């Protein structure tokens, strides 16, 4: 059950910081996919900085977990939640790094759409994570409910799957050479993994809700 000890509530600060960092990073990738030249390099640096921030939050949370005897939620859930949120940021960083490494100038419309789906998934994930803090004091009529936010993440994951499969098929029909097909296939899959990981976070949140309500 949730504890009301103030010192334990600091875990929720870590969750919120990590999720907000993931959302900002997803938004940066969406902008990154529409820019080029110097602005794209600036966004690459910002994404990399957020990746370091995510690592720091994760390490801080896990260090705190080792030092804390009583935790507000299950210890395994704390570990799983913070590491999965960090994985979202890692995938986003990997996508931006690959685009620069492969020297890709023109971003496909499908990839841009997939980045927007990632933003939507990360936004709903972030709101759901924030609701954990007040899980025991939810107000009647609260909208959106945590359940609705979890459904929104699942819906975004389904949309991401559709975009991934549709545009992956089109890669073989749009005149790309074999190397370009391989590059774009990898890029689509990395962003799809990021969206899938948002769903993994939502599933962890759902498990926490079931355990503590």
The total number of residues written for the chain in this structure:
213
Q: How far is CA 36 from CA 19, 41, 44, 171, 190, in A?
A: 27, 8, 11, 22, 20
Nearest to 46 by CA among 26, 22, 25, 16: 25
Rounded percentage of the chain residues whose pLDDT exceeds 90: 68
How far apart (Å, rounded) are the C-alpha atoms in residues 130 and 140?
17
Residue 135 lies in a domain: yes
End-to-end CA, the chain = 8
Overall average pLDDT of the 99-124 stretch: 94
What is residue 47's DSSP assignment?
H
CA distance 91 to 186: 12
Asked whether residue 1 is domain-assigned, the answer is no
CATH of residue 56's domain is 1.20.58.220
145 band by pLDDT with thresholds 50, 70 and 90: confident
Between CA 30 and CA 92 the distance in angstroms is: 10
Element at 17 (helix H, strand E): helix 10-32
Q: Round to whole Å and give the CA distance between 213 and 67.
A: 26
Beta carbons of 188 and 110 less than 8 angstroms apart: yes
* Residue 21: inside a domain: yes
Predicted confidence at residue 1, as pLDDT, reads 40
Number of domains comprising the chain? 1
Number of H helices and number of E strands within the chain?
6, 0
175 or 88, which is more confident: 88
Cα–Cα distance measured from residue 139 to residue 141, given in angstroms and rounded to the nearest whole number: 6
Q: Is 94 a domain residue?
A: yes
Q: What is the pLDDT of residues 4-22, one digit of tens each?
A: 444 478 999 999 999 999 9
Per-residue model confidence (pLDDT) at position 194:
97
Q: Which domain holds residue 174?
A: 6-212
Share of the chain above pLDDT 70, in %: 92
Cβ(50)–Cβ(90) below 8 Å: no
């Amino acid at each position: 059950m949730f504890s009301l000890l103030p010192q334990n509530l600091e875990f929720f600060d870590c969750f919120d910081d990590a999720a907000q960092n993931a959302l900002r990073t997803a938004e940066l990738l969406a902008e990154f996919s529409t820019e080029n030249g110097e602005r794209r390099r600036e966004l690459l640096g910002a994404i990399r900085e957020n990746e370091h921030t995510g690592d720091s939050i994760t390490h801080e949370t896990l260090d705190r977990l080792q030092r804390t005897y009583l935790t507000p939620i299950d210890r395994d859930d704390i570990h799983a939640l913070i590491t999965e949120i960090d994985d979202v940021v890692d995938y986003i960083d990997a996508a931006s790094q690959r685009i620069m490494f492969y020297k890709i100038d023109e971003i496909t419309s499908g990839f841009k759409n997939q980045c927007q789906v990632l933003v939507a998934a990360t936004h709903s994930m972030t709101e759901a994570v924030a609701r954990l803090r007040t899980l025991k004091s939810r107000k009647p009529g609260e909208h959106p409910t945590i359940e609705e936010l979890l459904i929104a993440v699942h819906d975004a994951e389904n949309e991401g799957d559709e975009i991934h499969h549709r545009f992956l098929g089109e890669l073989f029909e749009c005149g790309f050479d074999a190397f370009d097909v391989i590059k774009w296939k990898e890029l689509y899959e990395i962003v799809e993994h990021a969206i899938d990981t948002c769903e993994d976070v939502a599933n962890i949140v759902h498990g926490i809700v079931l355990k503590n309500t």
